[in-house]
Amino acid sequence: MDQPIVKVDELSHRYAIQWAVRDINFEINGKGVYGLLGANGSGKSTIMNIMCGILKQTQGNVYIKGISVSENPVEAKKHLGFLPQLAPLHPDLTVEEYLIHAANMRLMPAKSISDAVKKAMEKCDILHFRKRLIRNLSGGYKQRVGIAQAIVHNPEFIILDEPTNGLDPNQILEVRYLIKEIAQEHTVLLSTHILQEVQATCDHIWMINEGRQVFSGTVEDFDNYLIPNSLIVVLMAPPSSAELRQLPGIDEVEDLGNKTFKIRFKESDEAIKQIVNASVEKAWHLREIRIEKTSMDSVFAELSKKGKTKKN
C-alpha cells in the first residue's frame, strides 16, 4: 500500500503551559481541497506550522508521504509547499526575482529553476507582472505570488493558511478559483475561519474548536448542520429589494436599512456570484458581502457541543 500523502497522528501542542492543540488525527489520501475550519485562536495555524516543520510539536507526529516532519524535515519538505498566514513576500524584489529566490530556498537544481518559475507564474496568472516590484501589486496579486512560491517546486502537498484573508470579494473568488485549479493536480489543505470558504472550495472539512477536532466530513455532511442560509450584503448604490430578489438563486431579500440587505439563498457560491456580477454590471457598488454571523456562530456552538458529547 502507498503511504497517505499526509498523516497527522495524535498531534498535541502546548505553548508554555497552555494547550493550543489536542489529539488531532487525520489523513489525506488524494488530490483536492481539504479544509481546516475554525474560529480565530482555535489552533489552525499551530497545526499547519507543525505540519510544515516550522514549529516542533509537544506530542504526536506528522508524516508527509510516510516521512516524519520532525525527524526528517529536509526530506519531508521536498513534498510540501506552504503559504503562511502572513505571506513571506519581499516587497523590494520583482515577482520573478522573488520566485527564483523561493526556488533556491527549496533547494531546486539550478538548471530547473527558470522553467519552474515560469510555470508557477503561468499557473497563478502573474507572468505579465514578472518584472513588477511586489510592493506595487494589489492584495489579490500579492496572494497569487504567495501561492506561486508554494507551488514553484511542484510539491504534491500544499498548505495554505487563510489564503483569502484580507482580500476583497472579487479577489476572493479569483483566489478560490486558482486554488481549485491547483487542486486538480495537487493535494491542498487550507485553513479558514469563514464557513462559506469551506463550502465554496473544500471537498472535505475538519473543524477545530479550542484545539480539538469537532467535525470531520464532506461539505454535504457539514451543510446538514447549517441553519438559515443567509448573506449580509452592503451596496452603496442599492437597487430595490424586489430587483435583488429577481437574481437567480435568491429566495428572500430583507432590507435592513442603511444600504444593508439580508439575503437568503439556495446555494452560497451561486448567490455570491450572482450578486457580485450584478453589482458590477449595474453599478450597485458592492461594499461588503458575508455569511450572516449568527448562523456561523450557531454552527460552531452546535458542533463544539457535539465534539464534547462525543468525548464523554
Match 499526509 to its residue by C-alpha cell: 6
Read off the DSSP letter of residue 133: B
Starting at the edge strand that comes first in sequence, how are the strands of the sheet with 230-235 ordered?
250-257, 260-265, 230-235, 286-291
Q: Count helices and strands (H / E) in the chain.
A: 11, 14
Look at residues 195, 207, 226, 189 and name the one whose alpha carbon lies nearest to residue 307. Answer: 207
Between 26 and 129, name the residue whose CB sits nearer to ligand ADP: 26
45 lies in the binding site for Mg ion (CB under 5 A): yes
State in angstroms the smallest separation of the CB of 258 from ligand ADP: 30
Stretch that binds Mg ion, among 43-51, 129-137, 202-210, 268-276 (CB under 5 A): 43-51
CB 163 within 8 A of CB 113: no
In the list 10, 15, 54, 282, the residue contacting ligand ADP (rule: CB under 6 A) is 15
Q: Which secondary-structure segment (H or E) carries 31?
A: none
State in angstroms the smallest separation of the CB of 44 from Mg ion: 5
Site residues for Mg ion, 77-116, by CB under 5 A, read: 85
Look at residues 159, 32, 150, 146 and name the one whose alpha carbon lies nearest to residue 89. Answer: 146
Site residues for ligand ADP, 33-62, by CB under 6 A, read: 38, 40-46
Between 46 and 279, name the residue whose CB sits nearer to ligand ADP: 46
Give the C-alpha separation, 76 to 155, whole Å.
10
209 lies in the binding site for Mg ion (CB under 5 A): no
Between 164 and 274, name the residue whose CB sits nearer to ligand ADP: 164
Instruction: Please give the grid coordinates belonging to residue 235.
Output: 451596496
Instruction: Give the total of residues touching ligand ADP (CB under 6 A).
Output: 10
Q: Binds 15, which of Mg ion, ligand ADP, none (CB < 5 to 8 A, cut-off by type)?
A: ligand ADP
Give the C-alpha separation, 201 to 18, whole Å.
32
Instruction: Please give the grid coordinates belonging to residue 258.
Output: 442603511
42 lies in the binding site for Mg ion (CB under 5 A): no
What residues line the site for Mg ion (CB under 5 A)? Answer: 44-45, 85
What residues line the site for ligand ADP (CB under 6 A)? Answer: 15, 20, 38, 40-46
